Chain A
Amino acid sequence: QVQLVQSGAEVKKPGASVKVSCRASGYIFTGYYIHWVRQAPGQGLEWMAWINANSGGTNSAQKFQGRVTMTRDTSSSTAYMELSSLKYDDTAVYYCATSPVVGGGADYWGQGTLVTVSS
């Protein structure tokens, strides 16, 4: 069965960077896109970025451009999202999700990774 397993919770100081991993199994990793979506406590979903797992091409929401980096390792079917210059309001649960086409629905989701930014 399809599974996306994310790395564990992180606590970071303001100004630091965090790198979250998303290991995929049960499907052909390079046939899909990986999206990154976050949800601040008590807030709605916010789309951050996507990576084409085959080509490595990426795109991100304007508010994250210059601060977010998506990479993937096809040998281990793992996608990574690194967010730099962390601020207090980056505290959120970060999800990875997969879709067959860039604009299509994300049918499988990771369990989420809580990133807490605290001094």
Chain B
Amino acid sequence: QSALTQPASVSGSPGQSITISCTGTTSDIGDYNYVSWYQQHPGKAPKLMIYEVSNRPSGVSDRFFGYKSGNTASLTISGLQAEDEADYYCSSYTSSSTLAFGTGTKVTVL
């Protein structure tokens, strides 16, 4: 199972919106609505931000929006804030009943 493909870095100014893509295949993202997104600050455990493509866990800001089209899932962060600066990882269930993580994206708030 190969890692899902994400851009290495994305940046934006405070208040702007950014979008992180996550590209998989018909054996993972394209065939299942089990796509999750995680935020990880340095030295910390990952935090679940989105599950099942577009659902936000309780307590996660509605500035985070997830969706997918075909084999690509995306995470949009609107109203970018300094605290959003972190690494972001997508994850998908696969046809082998395994999970795969994305390569990770470093978000920088300019």
CB <8 Å contact, B3 and A104: no
Question: What residue in chain B is nearest A105 (Cβ atoms)?
Answer: B51
Is B65 an interface residue when CB atoms closer than 8 A count as contact?
A: no
Q: Interface residue count for A (Cβ, 8 Å)? A: 24
Interface SS majority for chain B: strand
What is the size category of the interface that chain B forms with chain A?
20 to 34
Nearest CB on A from B99, distance (A)? 4
Chain B residues, CB < 8 A from A104:
34, 36, 51-52
| Interchain CB contact (< 8 A) of B46 among A59, A61, A62, A95 | A95
Q: A44-B104, A45-B104, A95-B45 are in contact. Are A102 and B91 (CB under 8 A)?
A: no
CB <8 Å contact, A45 and B38: yes
Binds B, one of A10-18, A23-31, A72-80, A107-115: A107-115
* Most chain A beta-carbon neighbours within 10 Å: one of B57, B97, B102: B97
CB <8 Å contact, A47 and B48: no
A18 to B98 Cα, complex, angstroms: 22
A105 to B52 Cα, complex, angstroms: 7
Is B100 an interface residue when CB atoms closer than 8 A count as contact?
A: yes
| Interchain CB contact (< 8 A) of B1 among A61, A95, A102 | A61
Question: What residue in chain A is nearest B104 (Cβ atoms)?
Answer: A44
Show the binding face of A for B, using Cβ within 8 Å. 35, 37, 44-47, 50, 59-62, 95, 97, 101-107, 109-112
Q: List 16 A-B contacts (CB under 8 A).
A: A44-B101, A44-B102, A44-B104, A45-B46, A47-B99, A59-B98, A60-B98, A62-B1, A62-B96, A62-B98, A101-B34, A102-B93, A102-B97, A103-B34, A105-B91, A106-B36
